[in-house]
Amino acid sequence: METQPTDPQPRRVQVKIEVPADLQATYANFTVISHSPSELFLDFVQLVPQQPKARVQTRVVMTPANAKLLYRALGDNIAKYEERFGEITAATQGPTLAQELFRPPPNNPEGEE
């Protein structure tokens, strides 16, 4: 029986990614992440201060393996960003983002609405 030599390194295929000129970007300042046994759901939301309701703008569904690759790619790109522009700081003291966005409006001392 003759065996075929196997290529130890898979060949990389270069994929050309096209971005349509009319593609609209979506801004999100909040993400809800949930999962099933076979998929991760990333819901990108625009939260507006003092608004009791927010709408999901974009939902991305990924396999756990692809989500892990995204996680690694985000880490690599954040490290490159910080190397070039400085450390990204996240508020660790004081109100949380949710507390800041959903606090009641300040009382009007003159009683006007």
The pLDDT value given to residue 45: 95
Q: Is the Cβ–Cβ distance between 26 and 57 less than 8 Å?
A: yes
The more confidently predicted of residues 101 and 75 is: 75
Nearest to 34 by CA among 44, 26, 46: 44
**Average pLDDT in the chain:** 85
Sorted by where each begins, the domain ranges of the chain are: 30-88
Beta bridge partners of 34: 41
pLDDT at 90: 77
The mean pLDDT of 20-33, rounded to a whole number, is 94
Dump pLDDT digits (tens) for 47-82.
Answer: 888 888 999 999 999 999 999 999 999 999 999 999
Sheet order of strands, 55-62 included:
30-35, 40-46, 55-62
